[in-house]
Chain A
């Protein structure tokens, strides 16, 4: 910096010598010095202000403190040997040991998490009571601080994270740590504190719970037994394996050389004997141990003299054994999941990671320790379908909840958050179903296999513009159906008011008119609050041929198949080899894949889906082109249910017997071929938007039981069924 300035100065000086007149030079010099002085003064001020402002940051946020370098010189905090710790409470539950009043920000629906500043705890002799902070704990703290839950204000917080690294009990002095915890400013006997631990217990007992006095605090651990795990209070987390990350992206399906791999080093003789015996009988059973040449090399495993790279070898295994070691949880679980090798867990009373929310049955096999010798019988019975499904599930669980310290930490916080705000919490499906299987919330509308009772009836929704005469005709016809509960007229004409009450025909059923704001086809599928029954009969205002018996029977069929569109005019789609596209077909065919909504029953939930959950721009497209709303509806239902619509009764013409072409049900277009082409285009367009053709084609239709049977009409319940 200094050099640069002096250089510029010399250049300037050099130049000045060539100036012809002196006084001007003098003036220039003077100006220059003044200017230079000002510049210096300005820089001086800026720098000092910057330094002064930046000064307090040093103390404030832990975000600065958590910098790698600052870990090297932490403030020391002396733990006094006479301070009293508070013993861990075995019987704690969320309701008895967690102070929920601290979290009562109901509307945010999010817990506030406070992280204590990082200091180094030392005893009175200045000896640290824990080993140096580990990478994993450091990452955990970083994750929490960067998460949405973090709050720097302890008064706002409902969860407190002590910054003493207790991940491994062997790295700490438990008694002193208890005292150190008790000296925390907001400790309050540990209430609302979360202690992160992965490896609990130490020689010789390896108790499955962190042997530190944590009072009323919650704990996470990778080795809970069901005897020490306080259900709904503690969080069981995986034993993080730093090796598992090496497998990233290498996990593929396909054939695997080994049926079972036991890769844990130094399994106890009790188990090793059994495992070796089994391996001797089964050629596809690979038993690995640490290598005699370098027993502490984590990256290799050996079978006698054969050396295998670890954890890559797990990519070749279908099942991977996880037998309990000195502790219940083992890092192999993570390595196996990462490698797509289905874990077989032999660890009695081990509480699996996040067992509270994860359905482990879908990803692992569990066997009691006593049944270890029968493991091959169990494994040989697992079907290849299940293997694929478990692998997929394991893979998904792993990437979503386990693959990094960051995810593990966030999952833990999420679980605690869901406990505090259970009504906003994730459901089983949210936690466990991989995205393609995830069903929308309303998907269980048809969870119960029964339709609504006949007595509820159906609501006829008739879309009309201005064809009053035929509308009145239709109304008079359908109103004779006993199951009709109500007629809702969707008045799509903004330029004309509906005729006065007096001019409407007198009907035995209630009638309501809904006026729309714009003339759009999708108005007919709007979830009007006027529709009170579950069944909707969608009608065009020119379908005059339907008989009462046909309507009643159609409703009867719909009640049995409430999740499908049940209707009268049917259409189908065929693959057109010439145009390499789908073709809309209205000819008399043996197939049905669509039912036109000019006269069809369907569940009103589909109105809701049509209006609010239609994929892509289908809805706008339909409104712009005034066509294909029925095809869009058929696509929607078929996509949601994977089922075909049902055509009722043989009738194919609905307007007038003499009409040649029965297709123009909804739109009055004169050019037939253009209309058909456009509808074929609709199918192709919608199929592109869905990414596939969801329609399913069937070769049957629904008729009354005695239809066309050789019986007098008097025996038949539905006799007036038209034939064409």
Chain B
């Protein structure tokens, strides 16, 4: 018995040992690296490659570059190979080829040329030009179209500055024709940059071409006011329709499938997809079995009403990739849902469309309603706001579209410039941001508020520039005026004393535009606290716009612009500066004026009467951001400057137009003790321009000229005046901070 048991035990032990041995071997296979150290894996780059050993070079880069420049094919054009940068060394100027009157031109192209020739970019000297624009209408290159210009190639080749298309921008809306609608223009554009609607990814030369939106003939040439998006609920109120489209379909042929299948989405409740087969003359012969039904449904909806009452609007491709829908939908405040595979969406180089449009895929058409429904309400609001913003900044008029195109090209030429996506995608946008002024967006007036609150948050570093202002006093003594310049008792001297008493003044600059010669330094007073005083004589004295020239002397963000006869107290100056610091993007000042529509004359009127509203604050006593000096001088078109120069007047109206146009906000008036010009003086001097009726009429004319040149009336009225918190409150004057403002007499 025992022996047997022992044998069994022995056997079991042996089996166990065997198992341990073989099993262990197996286990080792499962956890192999236990106890074993493997050599590390190689790096993907060998040392020779990391150090780029000499032997690697075979083609010298310069030679490679030269070869590329010579042999480049059209599809391979890039700025570095097809563009001549040397032409742009002297500035970014645009030359427009002379227009041949015998050749027909579409109204849209005429608008483009108008906008360009009146713009600040324009030059009449081809040798100064960086970019060239054709005087020939290339918008419509559909050979079946009535606007098609024949014999384009020979006309191009005979142009004096054509130069194989180098540095040219060619604008085009339609290319190719039935049946395949290719993107071929029917001409050799050589090395020219193509700014074209309906571009496909395959034909778009990145960082060289520009994708344009397709615009109607009726599109505004310039101007275009901002549209408020009404009734934004958070969470967003649902408009009547979720998703809408109304348009024609083509039954067959290229690009027809997408629109032909839209009826699958239509539910006549919140997704409205109505199409018609009616287009052209022979639609009846081509119609399919759905046409009758579709046409009936189509007539039930009004296009405008549909767009304005839909949250999302479909932008499907037509024959070509882009369609008018895109612009129409943006204009109507509807969020575009793009359904055009391979389309290069307009200005995608600078615009972040992800925050303002929805991408759908033609291949997944039936998912579109689900996608749209899945977007939460908050994002709907954000999308709508952003699409409105983009519409306003870059699409609302021809001039904005064209200037955006030019600015994109400029940005490519000067690759190192800083205008980044934040600038382009936020108000007021890339068109009014001049990259030469600063290279950090936080220095711009509209970003100032954020940046100051940011610095406060980051430990409150005080920026000297932000807590001080530079007073710019414009002195314009006329010959024969009884006012004695800069003597011990003149108003200028008085003003200098008042200003210098302010805690916030960093420097005083007198712009000496008087016919008298500049008084010698000894006759200028020395100011308290050693505030520097500079006298600047403008180059063109008679040019009144000189007062807005950006001077290197102005180092602070705030400019306090003053006429020499302004009578202010130090408290008023300090209070105005305090208010301005909270509204750095606006003009803050004392003398207010307003505009009104004069129905009898059918034009704009200008008044200085005491009214309940104002829309301008005159720069005789106003504070604003110094960036507006730069904008005034460098950004405004030559015709605007000409108007001011010729009339020796209206420069203060123009800067109000400028600031309102850029910010879409009214200026701010702060309370003042009394009329800011001393009335007794102007009563004596009958020559003072303020009492001159001609002067007044001239300003009215200016106002109307500016409206015409801006394309709309940018001024905005305000009924709000800012006063100190305890202003004229029945409490002891001693408790008030700005006491002088309530003293009745000097």
Q: Do A and B come from one complex?
A: yes
Q: A423-B358, A452-B230 are in contact. Are A47 and B23 (CB under 8 A)?
A: yes
* Contact A556:B38 (CB < 8 A) given known A168-B44, A444-B385: no
A368 touches B415 (CB 8 A): yes
Q: Mark A304-345, 1 if CB is under 8 A from B, else 0.
A: 000000000000000000001110000100000000000000
Closest residue of chain A to B36 (Cβ to Cβ) is A69
Cα A360 to Cα B312 with chains together (Å): 32
Cβ of A295 within 8 Å of any chain B Cβ, yes or no, is yes
Decide if B439 is an interface residue (CB 8 Å cutoff): yes
| A17 interface residue per 8 A CB criterion | no
Inter-subunit contact B352/A428 (CB<8 Å): yes
Determine which of A70, A290, A371, A527 lies in contact with B51 in the assembled complex, contact meaning CB atoms within 8 Å. A290
Question: Measured between alpha carbons, how far is A370 from B57 in the docked complex, in Å?
Answer: 19
A106/B201 in contact, CB under 8 A = no
Q: A266-B51, A367-B416, A560-B666 are in contact. Are A423 and B374 (CB under 8 A)?
A: yes
- A361-B418, A532-B231 are contacts. A692–B457 as well, Cβ < 8 Å? yes
Query: Per a CB cutoff under 8 Å, which of B27, B358, B418, B723 touches A703?
Result: B723
- Chain B nearest CB from A405 CB (Å) reads 10
Q: Distance in Å from the Cβ of B368 to the closest Cβ of chain A?
A: 10
Interface residues in A11-49 (C-beta closer than 8 Å to B)? 29-30, 33, 36-37, 40-41, 43-44, 47-48
User: A647 CA to B727 CA in the complex, in Å?
Assistant: 12
Per-residue A-contact encoding for B351-382, CB less than 8 Å = 1, 0 else: 01011001101111001001100110011011
Interface residues of B in 51-108 (CB under 8 A from A): 51-54, 56-62, 65, 76, 78-80, 85
Q: Is the CB of B364 within 8 A of A100?
A: yes
Q: Please give the distance in Å from A540's CB to the nearest CB on chain B.
A: 22
Q: Cβ of B722 and Cβ of A298 under 8 Å apart?
A: no
Chain B residues closer than 8 Å to A359, beta-carbon distance: 420-422
Complex alpha-carbon distance, A229 and B207, angstroms:
12
Contact (Cβ within 8 A) A68 B57:
no
A136, A138, A427: the one within 8 Å of B355 (CB): A427
B720: contacting residue among A296, A704, A724, CB under 8 A: A704
Determine whether the beta carbon of A534 is less than 8 Å from that of B367. no
Tell me if B450 is interfacial: C-beta within 8 Å of chain A: yes
Q: Does A687 contact B (CB under 8 A)?
A: no
Contact of A1 among B20, B62, B578 (CB under 8 A): B20
Tell whether, in the assembled complex, residue B727 and residue A423 are in contact, meaning their CB atoms are under 8 Å apart: no
Q: How far is the CB of B563 from chain A (nearest CB, A)?
A: 21
- Per-position 1/0 for B173-195, Cβ under 8 A of A: 00000000000000000000000
Is the beta-carbon distance between A136 and B364 smaller than 8 angstroms? no
Contacts of B669 in A (CB 8 A): 705
**From residue 210 to 231 of chain B, which have CB atoms closer than 8 A to chain A?**
226, 228-231
Q: Does B735 contact A (CB under 8 A)?
A: yes
Minimal Cβ-Cβ distance residue in A for B201: A93
- Kindly state the interface size class of chain A when it binds its partner: 35 or more
Q: Could you tell me the distance between the alpha carbons of A359 and B422 in the complex, rounded to whole angstroms?
A: 9
- Residue in contact with A441 in the complex, picked from B54, B232, B371, B382, CB distance below 8 Å: B382
Bound-state Cα–Cα, A565 to B364, Å: 46
* In the bound complex, CA of A553 to CA of B613 (Å): 12
CB distance from B725 to the nearest CB of A (A): 5
Q: In the complex, what residue of chain A is closest to B78 when comparing beta carbons?
A: A349
Could you tell me the distance between the alpha carbons of A538 and B371 in the complex, rounded to whole angstroms?
38
Q: Does B50 sit at the interface, judged by CB under 8 A?
A: yes
- A510 at the binding interface (Cβ < 8 Å): no
Give every chain B residue within 8 A of A67 (Cβ-Cβ): 32-33
Q: Which residue of A lies closest to B200 (CB)?
A: A93
B531 within 8 A of A: no
Instruction: Establish whether residues B719 and A422, one from each chain, have CB atoms under 8 Å apart when the complex forms.
Output: no
Would A365 and B354 count as touching, CB distance under 8 A? no
Which of chain B's residues has its CB closest to A348's CB? B80
Given contacts A30-B5, A138-B41, contact A170 B65 (CB under 8 A): no
Whether A369 is near chain B, meaning CB under 8 Å from some CB there, is: yes
The reply to whether A385 and B440 contact each other, CB–CB distance below 8 Å, is yes
User: Is residue B160 within 8 Å, beta carbon to beta carbon, of the partner chain?
Assistant: no
Count of chain B residues with Cβ under 8 Å from any Cβ of A? 148
Query: A492: CB under 8 A from chain B?
Result: no
In the bound complex, residues from chain B placing their C-beta under 8 Å from that of A331 are 45, 50
Shortest CB distance A435–B (Å): 13
Say if the beta carbon of A231 comes within 8 Å of chain B: yes
Q: Which residues of B, 621-673, contact A by the 8 Å Cβ criterion?
A: 663-666, 669-671
The one of A135, A590, A652, A717 that contacts B44, using a Cβ cutoff of 8 Å: A135
- What residue of chain A has the Cβ atom nearest to residue B384's Cβ? A444
Pair B449/A428 contact, Cβ less than 8 Å? no
Check if B490 is an interface residue, CB within 8 A of chain A.
Answer: no
With known contacts A368-B85, A692-B457, A711-B610, A449–B575 Cβ distance under 8 A:
no
Interface residues of B in 11-25 (CB under 8 A from A): 12-13, 15-17, 19-20, 23
Q: A500 interface residue, CB < 8 Å from B?
A: no
User: Is the pair B61, A369 in contact by a Cβ cutoff of 8 Å?
Assistant: yes
**Contact, CB under 8 Å: A198 / B232:** no
Establish whether residues A701 and B33, one from each chain, have CB atoms under 8 Å apart when the complex forms: no
Which residues of chain B are within 8 angstroms of A441 by Cβ–Cβ distance?
Answer: 378-379, 382
Would you list which residues of chain B between 442 and 470 have a CB under 8 Å from chain A? 442-443, 449-450, 452-454, 456-457
B557-583 CB mask vs A (1 if < 8 Å, else 0) is 000000000000000000100110010
Contact of A643 among B231, B233, B582 (CB under 8 A): B582
Cα A29 to Cα B726 with chains together (Å) = 107
Q: How far does the alpha carbon of A660 sit from the alpha carbon of B636 in the complex, in Å?
A: 57
Chain A CB within 8 A of B302 CB: no
**Are A91 and B202 touching (Cβ within 8 A)?**
yes
A30 to B5, CA, bound (A): 8
Is there a chain B Cβ closer than 8 Å to A661's Cβ?
no
Question: Which chain B residues have a beta carbon within 8 Å of chain A's beta carbons?
Answer: 2, 5-6, 8-9, 12-13, 15-17, 19-20, 23, 26-27, 29-30, 32-33, 36, 38, 40-54, 56-62, 65, 76, 78-80, 85, 201-202, 204, 206-207, 226, 228-235, 237, 341-342, 352, 354-355, 358-359, 361-364, 367, 370-371, 374-375, 378-379, 381-382, 385-386, 388-389, 392, 415-422, 425-428, 438-440, 442-443, 449-450, 452-454, 456-457, 575, 578-579, 582, 592, 610-614, 663-666, 669-671, 718-731, 735-738
Question: What are the 6 A-B residue pairs with the smallest beta carbon separation, nearest first?
Answer: A642-B453, A204-B58, A428-B352, A717-B612, A95-B341, A422-B359
13 more CB-based (< 8 A) A-B contacts, given A386-B439, A590-B726, A592-B725 = A51-B23, A95-B342, A226-B206, A324-B61, A349-B78, A422-B358, A427-B354, A532-B231, A604-B233, A650-B729, A704-B612, A718-B612, A718-B719
A-B contact pairs, 22 of them (CB 8 A): A2-B20, A37-B12, A44-B16, A69-B32, A96-B342, A100-B361, A106-B371, A134-B42, A240-B44, A269-B60, A296-B47, A325-B52, A326-B57, A423-B359, A441-B379, A445-B385, A449-B226, A590-B726, A642-B449, A699-B725, A702-B721, A705-B614
